[in-house]
Chains A and B, each alone.
Chain A
């Protein structure tokens, strides 16, 4: 690929969504709904077409020539010591992210046309959505850490806008704020990591030109020892950034609340793209992580722990979107686990398939909510399958893919991911993580089919499901396409195909130049064929147990789910229902003390000290003015008298002090 081609691709891919966003922001309104819908969807569709062309061109190139970094703009160069340039990298990793973001994004935008049909803020919605896509593409294309951080913050701010889209709802505003504040913790960690990189990673090779260009960082980091403390600290900070973005423990509480946003937002930002940016970050910075085994272990443990916890919570939630949100958290936990184990390609593979089936589940849930007139509580649903036939079938495919039922997309990616961990990594810990991982398979099957069974099967719990109607065609087409992708994407990405001069490799092989070109740590080696098979068989068996259990508990109701729940120790069900009390914990540990400090400041510092000081200045000036005011009489005589008086005083001082 030539530099010129890549530059064109980058400019077009970034330009379409940005221009779409600007047009909708400047000229869009509810009255011009047609224009808004066309601009909003076509801009993303065009970006997808450009990305697809770029993929085809990339595939025609030899695999060693597929990564191209171009410099689009020199932001600033400080006297030969620091340079920051907007560099973009188009390589195997970023093209996959581009395709996922624009492809799934395009389908979700089309869906939004139907979903937002009666909303007055449709122009604002599409302006935000396009801006989000722009930010996300900016983030994945950036090859300079400074611009990566800018993209990182821009996606957070678009997420903030979209969670708080219905700003007249106090709960939406609170959720938006919570998400933003949590993400800022990650932003700060990233910025500190950038500082550490500037001061430490640039010096060893003796150059004094500091640069945050990622290829340079990866080149320089090769001179660091395995397990070096500098790299460990940098990776810890990068991991915190990734955890905040990807809703991992302990920065995970914002994701369920983020479901206050419109459902397409949840599908695009909080399932398919933005929350997976943490996985992308760790994969992108693998040369650093490969040198920090402690942090790799930490990342893997946090990922699997979050995944397990979210799986348990998802079992007891009653809000349809929250169940899917916890499922998202759980699946991203698995991806984080994979990249922590050094299985970067496996993590990215699951990222792609997850984007398909999770977007599908969210859009399906959107159809259900639409049909139920904004009702999200699954306890009042039931029997919707008779009414929403297409949605129900698509949702079923999504759930099958999510649970990892053989031959659906999720099966390929998840068993690949878990199988990677079996004999890979430091001994017993890796085995333990793997065992937890397959237990998560059971949980996944349980909560996925619990949701499906309660919402679509059984008897309607209220009169409303009986009156529900299927969504309009524009909302069904994206769902059906995503369902098809969830069903076949596994094959698509698994088997190498060749036609003409275009060689399509399997996913892992396609990505492998990115992950091995610079360096690889001792963890990053391919699993043996045997361990892969064992992992697959065990994982598949566990998934089937989960699905079977869910169907017995919630579909056939023998035994009934409630009676089973009553037999489980009470503290477990309580933990699940109260989301492990994290909201309460943070409320008590952070929110309330802060609020107390704020109140104290309001009561004491503000009126007494701040106001006192400010008002004191005002009062003092006023008094001074009142004192001096009579001296301005307007009479020349008085002024001359002052003159004479001060002239005399001056003479006396001169005579008294200077002359003597």
Chain B
């Protein structure tokens, strides 16, 4: 893998992470926010794998698998929470879920 490819992969990872972060910040639907979080996680996976390749180490790929497992578990918990919140509040607009202030 050439240096140019590696730099491109890092650039792509950063871009995906920022898109994901922006999505988390500006979207109101929790499902979309989840998708954005997945995007951020996967951008990190990309960077991990790219580093693993560049440094000729397996550790990057091992961590990427780890992240995938955690992301799957997180989605399970997160979606369960979303359904519970919807049942309690009858809305999925996160801007109206501001009880934390009180």
Q: Does B101 contact A (CB under 8 A)?
A: yes
A637 contacts B21, CB within 8 Å? no
Contact with B along A462-487 (1 / 0, CB 8 A): 00000000000000000000000000
What is the size, in residues, of chain B's interface with A at 8 Å between Cβ atoms?
12
Q: Which of A632, A635, A640, A641 has the most CB of B within 10 A?
A: A635
B77 is an interface residue with CB less than 8 A from chain A: no
Residues of B within 8 A of A632 (CB): 101
Is A644 engaged at the interface, CB distance under 8 Å to the other chain? yes
Task: Please state if B98 and A633 are interface contacts (CB–CB under 8 Å).
Answer: yes
Q: Give residues 13-70 of B contacting A (CB, 8 Å).
A: 21, 24-26
A634 touches B (CB below 8 Å): yes
Whether, in the assembled complex, B94 has its beta carbon less than 8 Å from a beta carbon of chain A, the answer is yes
From B21, B24, B25, B98, give the contact of A634 (CB < 8 A): B98
In whole angstroms, how far apart are the Cα atoms of A637 and B26 in the complex? Answer: 8
List which B51-102 residues lie within 8 A (CB) of chain A: 94-95, 97-102
Q: Nearest Cβ distance between residue B73 and chain A, in whole angstroms?
A: 20
Measured CA separation A632–B21 after assembly (Å):
21
Contact B99 A634 (CB under 8 A): yes
Q: A640 touching B95 by the CB < 8 A rule?
A: no
Residues of B within 8 A of A637 (CB): 24-26, 94-95
Bound together, the chains give a CA A636 to CA B82 distance in angstroms of 14
Count of A interface residues, CB-CB < 8 Å: 9
- Contact between A635 and B21, CB atoms less than 8 A apart: no
Residues of A with C-beta under 8 A to B94: 635-637
B99: nearest residue on chain A (CB-CB)? A634
B residues in contact with A633, CB < 8 Å: 98, 101
In the complex the two chains form, what is the Cα distance from A644 to B21 in whole Å?
8
Residues of B within 8 A of A644 (CB): 21, 25
Q: How far is the CB of B77 from chain A (nearest CB, A)?
A: 16
Q: Which chain A residues in 607-660 approach chain B with CB under 8 Å?
A: 632-637, 640-641, 644
Q: Determine if A635 and B25 form an interchain contact, defined as CB atoms under 8 angstroms apart.
A: no
User: How distant is B3 from chain A, measured CB to nearest CB, in Å?
Assistant: 20
B-contact 0/1 string along A252-295, CB 8 Å cutoff: 00000000000000000000000000000000000000000000
Q: Is the CB of A641 within 8 A of B25?
A: yes
Task: Describe A's contact surface by its main secondary structure.
Answer: helix
Given contacts A635-B94, A635-B95, A640 and B101 within 8 Å (CB-CB)? no
- The residue in chain A whose Cβ has the minimal distance to the Cβ of B95 is A635
Residue of B nearest to A641 (CB): B25
Residue of B nearest to A635 (CB): B98
Tell me the complex Cα distance, A640–B95, Å: 13
Query: Contact: B102 with A640, CB < 8 Å?
Result: no
Q: Tell me the minimal C-beta distance from B97 to chain A in angstroms.
A: 8
Kindly name the residue among B94, B97, B98 whose own CB sees the greatest number of chain A CB atoms within 10 A: B98
Docked CA distance A641–B94 (Å): 14
Task: Note all chain A residues with C-beta closer than 8 A to B24.
Answer: 637, 640
For the complex, what is the distance from the CA of A634 to the CA of B99, rounded to whole Å?
6
A190: shortest Cβ distance to chain B, in Å? 64
User: Which residue of the partner chain A has the closest CB to B102?
Assistant: A634
Q: List the B side residues contacting A641 at CB < 8 Å.
A: 25
Residues on A with beta carbons closer than 8 Å to the beta carbon of B26: 637
Measured in the bound complex, the distance between the Cα atoms of B101 and A637 in whole Å is: 13
Chain A minimum-CB-distance residue to B22? A644
* Complex Cα gap A645–B97 (Å): 22
A220-234 CB contact bits vs B (8 Å, 1 = yes)? 000000000000000
Instruction: For residue B14, give the distance in angstroms from its CB to the closest CB of chain A.
Output: 12
CA distance A635 to B99 in the complex (A): 8
CB distance from A360 to the nearest CB of B (A): 80
* A636 to B21 Cα, complex, angstroms: 13
Report the bound CA distance from A401 to B38 in whole Å. Answer: 111
Q: Closest approach, in angstroms, between the C-beta of B10 and any C-beta of chain A?
A: 15
Q: In the assembled complex, how far is the CB of residue B93 from the closest CB belonging to chain A, in whole angstroms?
A: 11
**What are the residues of chain B within 8 A of A636 when measuring CB–CB?**
94, 97, 100
Report the minimal beta-carbon distance from A631 to chain B, rounded to whole angstroms: 11
Cβ–Cβ < 8 Å partners of A635 in chain B: 94-95, 98, 100
- What residue in chain A is nearest B24 (Cβ atoms)? A640
> Which residues from A are CB-within-8-Å of B95?
635, 637
Cα–Cα, bound, A633→B94 (Å)? 12
| Chain A min CB distance to B84 (Å) | 16
Q: Which of B94, B99, B100, B102 has the most CB of A within 10 A?
A: B100
Interfacial chain A residues near B25, Cβ < 8 Å: 637, 640-641, 644
- In the complex, which residue of chain A has the Cβ closest to the Cβ of B98? A634
Q: Which residues of A contact B97 (CB under 8 A)?
A: 636
Give Cα A633 to B98, complex, Å: 7
- Provide the bound-state CA to CA distance between A634 and B96, in Å: 9
Nearest residue, chain A, Cβ from B27:
A637
How far apart are A647's CB and chain B's nearest CB, in angstroms?
10
Chain A nearest Cβ from B60, distance in angstroms: 20
Please give, as numbers and ranges, the residues of chain B lying within 8 Å of A634 by CB-CB distance.
98-102
Bound Cα distance A637, B99 (Å): 13
Determine how close the nearest CB of chain A comes to the CB of B26; give it in whole angstroms.
Answer: 8
Most A C-beta atoms less than 10 A away, residue of B21, B94, B102: B21
> What residues of A have a CB within 8 angstroms of the CB of B99 in the complex?
634
In the bound assembly, the distance between CA atoms of A431 and B69 in angstroms comes to 112
How far apart are B92's CB and chain A's nearest CB, in angstroms?
A: 13
A633 to B99, CA, bound (A): 9
B38–chain A nearest beta-carbon distance, Å: 15
- Distance A641 CA – B25 CA, assembled complex (angstroms): 7
Give A644's nearest chain B residue, CB to CB. Answer: B21
CA distance A165 to B101 in the complex (A): 60
Q: Give Cα distance in the complex from A539 to B99, angstroms.
A: 99
Closest Cβ–Cβ distance, residue A632 to chain B (whole Å): 6
B-contact 0/1 string along A420-432, CB 8 Å cutoff: 0000000000000
User: In the complex, A119 Cα to B31 Cα: how many Å?
Assistant: 86
- Closest residue on chain B to residue A636 by CB atoms: B94
CA distance A641 to B26 in the complex (A): 10
Chain A residues, CB < 8 A from B21: 644
Within the complex, the shortest CB–CB distance from A288 to chain B, in Å, comes to 75
A residues 184-237 touching B (CB-CB < 8 Å) = none
A634 CA to B101 CA, complexed, in Å: 4
Q: How far is the CB of A139 from chain B (nearest CB, A)?
A: 66
- 3 tightest A-B contacts by CB? A634-B101, A634-B98, A634-B100
Residues of B within 8 A of A (CB): 21, 24-26, 94-95, 97-102
8 more A-B contacts (CB under 8 A) besides A635-B95, A636-B97, A644-B21? A633-B98, A634-B98, A634-B101, A635-B100, A636-B94, A637-B26, A637-B95, A644-B25
Query: Can you sample 5 A-B contacts with CB below 8 Å?
Result: A636-B94, A636-B97, A637-B25, A637-B94, A637-B95
